[in-house]
């Protein structure tokens, strides 16, 4: 089997949604080394800087949480306790709140880095037994706009393409993404494809000139927030040029008439002015797309993290639909997942508005079906609190207790000072983590040490619906336990039945059963198959195994009620925070190449810290000149919510009027002035509830 090659054990990189295969060698002294898995279809042996340094994060145990800790009240110190003491007390506290204030007084806030099995038991615990839907994850900050976009357009939260489509496409439209840094191995495949086929056209849409632009044939450096206007303008030119797939829009889609009316509301000149682009460039983009044999749109946070995130997604998916570029080789709308298992989490229903296997919380039949399967309490029809709503509810007292698993909200949430206030006010905070570094620990009443990557087994699903099995390779340090085991032990302390799983495989077995006969049916799958094959894409049904699950909608039958794809004529209004005289610049945030999220893992690796040693602001020299700021000066970035002070990095690669801050840095030694989320905006998309990390009004001054 591929699982044990020369004593090397197969696993999957735990950082981004690309989901590269790795082989892990266990040395005699217990440490590990990591290399790319040449047999793995995703990366064929390649790894990016983060993946290449994975072993450091496992071998260096200096920051690991080793045993449960607890304090009896907010004024007493944390004490080392046993697992039983920590979980007994937590169960007693949860029981008290649930009895006194109802099930919605407690919540779980987890992570797109959790394994599918972990998500599954957390979701079952809170929705099936506690009776609340207050289970959300940091995927809300990342993918929820794409989820809604796919559901509205295709009838299902599903990425219809696969990575092998990259080599079959001849036009790529990459928008709101910097895959050269954030999905590096996937982008290597695009680069290699382009190098071998110079006629392949790459259009990049971004207010910044990023490394992704290095191979672009056309860079559309649009004004932030104007994505829908741009996509509509391209749609208009496609119609004018007769580059519409009429068979597809008439026989397999609906909404084209309305769409056509909408995109003709603005002249091209008007749209170009709004977007800050040349008309000729928009025409050129439309010309490339119109001539494509295989057309892939690729996007991520630049579209998703927006108050108009859903509309941006829909306007983009429309470009695939009106040209009929979906359900065929080398074509389709391809949302790049940020986190390694955001997709797996949704498969088990791990968001506040979902049930397992993408069932709908609002559907009484779905609720009944799941309740019967779990044998617990009636499932609450009311959607739970989403990520930012949980912290609002802690602030106003509706929520009493929060259980934070594998995420670091005090660095990653927008307008983070509100979250800080919220955790101060919370009656009971459980923090389940691997590292003693997250700022959140300061507010914990109970700290539960978790096993990390390579210390536990389970599954993840990457951006192309590929499910992989991750081996347990080394023992967790101290008394740390796998997250799923912690949750199951707690559930049993609460007296709930159905959490005494033999092992992770048993949890997985239960999950796959629940997917039977749904669109994401993986009822034919188990650990044995995954270990044997290395990985498979969903769906993976029991009897009628669909041989080619690489690409969805090849039969042009969509998952909507009418079986047609829906072209949504979305408005192009953008209600982001308006710049004013006081706050004249637009701030956008994002990742840097060598760090992952809030740096609790990658920040431990010296090599990775060399790329950028500290936080910075990227600002155009013209804007810097107005302020009297030169390279290396300390800049003060102020918004209506807070302040950041970082070194200025002058760059002609960012659009004048726009500034950029990296998202990774939090509080360091009590200093929180590197933390981008001091200033970001917690306004959310009205449907997806995803916050806008890409657009807020700021002022920059010299320190």
Binding site for ligand SF4 (CB under 6 A): 13, 15-16, 18-20, 43, 47-48, 50-51, 183-185
CB of 453 to ligand SF4, least distance (A): 11
Q: How many other C-beta atoms can be found within 10 angstroms of the C-beta atom of residue 48? A: 24
CB of 47 to ligand SF4, least distance (A): 4
Q: For residues 198 and 539, give the distance between their C-alpha atoms in angstroms, rounded to a whole number.
A: 35
How many separate helices (H) and strands (E) can be counted in the chain?
24, 29
CB of 52 to ligand SF4, least distance (A): 7
Partners of residue 619 on adjacent β-strands? 650
Q: Are 593 and 214 in contact (CB under 8 A)?
A: no
Which is closer to ligand SF4, CB of 113 or CB of 226?
A: 113
Which is closer to ligand SF4, CB of 133 or CB of 341?
A: 341
Rg, the chain, Cα only: 24
Q: For residues 569 and 575, give the distance between their C-alpha atoms in angstroms, rounded to a whole number.
A: 18
Hunting for tokens 């991520």 — which residue is that?
300
CB of 49 to ligand SF4, least distance (A): 7
**What sign for the dihedral angle of Cα 267, 270, 275, 276?**
positive
Which is closer to ligand SF4, CB of 42 or CB of 106?
A: 42
Which is closer to ligand SF4, CB of 166 or CB of 393?
A: 166
Which is closer to ligand SF4, CB of 341 or CB of 415?
A: 341
Residue number closest to ligand SF4, CB atom: 51
CB of 597 to ligand SF4, least distance (A): 11
CB of 501 to ligand SF4, least distance (A): 28
Q: For residues 491 and 497, give the distance between their C-alpha atoms in angstroms, rounded to a whole number.
A: 8
The closest of 573, 574, 612 to 592, measured between CA atoms, is: 612
Which is closer to ligand SF4, CB of 460 or CB of 514?
A: 460
Q: Are 63 and 71 in contact (CB under 8 A)?
A: no
Which is closer to ligand SF4, CB of 185 or CB of 507?
A: 185
Give the tokens for residue 207.
């207010």
Compute the residue count for the chain: 703
Q: For residues 355 and 346, give the distance between their C-alpha atoms in angstroms, rounded to a whole number.
A: 8
Which is closer to ligand SF4, CB of 13 or CB of 121?
A: 13
What secondary structure letter does DSSP report for 126? I
Q: For residues 499 and 480, give the distance between their C-alpha atoms in angstroms, rounded to a whole number.
A: 19
CB of 150 to ligand SF4, least distance (A): 22
CB of 50 to ligand SF4, least distance (A): 4
CB of 183 to ligand SF4, least distance (A): 6
Across 270-307, b (16+ Cβ under 10 Å) vs e yields ebbebbbbebebbbbbbbbbbebebbbbbbbbbbbbbb
Which is closer to ligand SF4, CB of 183 or CB of 193?
A: 183
Which is closer to ligand SF4, CB of 184 or CB of 327?
A: 184
Q: Are 583 and 640 in contact (CB under 8 A)?
A: yes
Q: Measure the N-to-C terminal CA separation of the chain; round to a whole number of Å.
A: 60
Q: DSSP assignment of 158-195, as one string?
A: -----GGGGGG-SEEEEES--HHHHSHHHHHHHHHHHH
CB of 260 to ligand SF4, least distance (A): 39
């Amino acid at each position: 089997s591929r699982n044990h090659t020369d004593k090397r054990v197969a696993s999957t990189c735990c950082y981004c949604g690309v989901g590269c295969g790795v082989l892990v060698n266990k040395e005699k002294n217990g440490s590990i080394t990591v290399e790319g898995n040449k047999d793995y279809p995703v990366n064929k042996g390649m790894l990016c800087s983060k993946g290449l340094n994975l072993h450091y994060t496992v071998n260096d145990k200096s920051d690991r949480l080793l045993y449960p800790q607890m304090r009896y009240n907010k004024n007493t110190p944390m004490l080392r306790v046993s697992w039983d003491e920590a979980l007994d007390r937590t169960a007693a506290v949860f029981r008290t709140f649930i009895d006194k204030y109802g099930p919605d007084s407690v919540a779980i806030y987890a992570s797109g880095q959790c394994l599918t099995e972990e998500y599954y038991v957390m979701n079952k615990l809170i929705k099936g037994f506690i009776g609340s839907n207050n289970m959300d994850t940091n995927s809300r900050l990342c993918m929820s706009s794409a989820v809604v976009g796919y559901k509205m357009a295709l009838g299902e939260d599903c990425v219809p393409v696969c990575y092998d489509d990259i080599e079959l496409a001849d036009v790529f439209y990459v928008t709101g993404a910097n895959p050269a840094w954030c999905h590096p191995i996937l982008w290597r495949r695009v680069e290699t494809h382009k190098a071998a086929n110079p006629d392949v056209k790459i259009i990049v849409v971004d207010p910044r000139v990023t490394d992704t632009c290095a191979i672009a044939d056309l860079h559309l450096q649009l004004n932030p927030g104007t994505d829908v206007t741009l996509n509509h303008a391209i749609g208009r030119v496609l119609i004018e040029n007769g580059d519409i797939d009429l068979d597809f829009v008439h026989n397999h889609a609906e909404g084209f008439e309305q769409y056509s009316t909408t995109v003709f509301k603005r002249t091209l000149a008007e749209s170009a002015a709004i977007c800050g682009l040349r008309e000729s460039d928009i025409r050129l983009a439309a010309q490339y797309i119109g001539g494509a044999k295989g057309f892939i749109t690729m996007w991520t946070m630049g579209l998703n993290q927006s108050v108009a995130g859903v509309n941006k997604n829909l306007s983009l998916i429309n470009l695939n639909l009106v040209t009929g570029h979906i359900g065929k080789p080398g074509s389709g709308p391809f949302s790049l997942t940020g986190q390694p298992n955001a997709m797996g989490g949704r498969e088990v229903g791990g968001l506040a508005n979902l049930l397992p296997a993408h069932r709908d919380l609002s559907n009484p039949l779905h609720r009944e079906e799941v309740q019967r399967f779990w044998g617990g309490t009636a499932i609450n029809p009311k959607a739970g609190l989403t990520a930012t709503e949980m912290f609002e509810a802690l602030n106003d007292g509706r929520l009493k207790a929060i259980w934070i698993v594998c995420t670091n909200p005090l660095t990653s949430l927008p307008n983070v000072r509100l979250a800080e206030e919220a955790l101060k006010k919370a009656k009971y905070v459980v923090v389940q983590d691997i590292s003693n570094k997250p700022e959140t620990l300061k507010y914990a009443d109970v700290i539960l040490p978790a096993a990390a990557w390579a210390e536990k087994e389970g599954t993840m699903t990457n951006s192309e619906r590929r499910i992989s099995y991750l081996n347990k390779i080394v023992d967790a340090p101290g008394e740390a336990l796998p997250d799923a085991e912690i949750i199951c032990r707690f559930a049993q302390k609460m007296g709930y039945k159905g959490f005494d799983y033999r092992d992770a495989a048993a949890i997985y077995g239960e999950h796959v059963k629940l997917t039977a006969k749904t669109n994401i049916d993986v009822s034919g799958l188990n650990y044995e198959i995954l270990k044997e094959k290395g990985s498979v894409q969903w769906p993976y049904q029991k009897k009628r195994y669909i041989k080619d699950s690489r690409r969805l909608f090849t039969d042009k039958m969509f998952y909507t009620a009418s079986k047609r794809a829906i072209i949504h004529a979305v408005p192009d209004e953008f209600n982001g925070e308006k710049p004013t005289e006081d706050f004249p610049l637009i701030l956008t945030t994002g990742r840097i190449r060598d760090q992952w999220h809030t740096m609790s893992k990658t920040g431990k690796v010296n090599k990775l810290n060399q790329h950028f040693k500290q936080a910075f602001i990227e600002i155009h020299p013209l804007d810097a000149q107005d302020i009297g700021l030169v390279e290396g000066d300390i800049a003060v970035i102020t918004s209506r919510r807070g302040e950041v002070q970082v070194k200025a990095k002058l760059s002609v690669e960012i659009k004048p009027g726009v500034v950029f801050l990296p998202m990774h840095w939090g509080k360091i030694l009590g200093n929180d002035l590197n933390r981008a989320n001091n200033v970001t905006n917690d306004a959310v998309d009205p449907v997806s509830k995803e916050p806008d990390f890409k657009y807020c009004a700021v002022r920059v001054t010299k320190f």
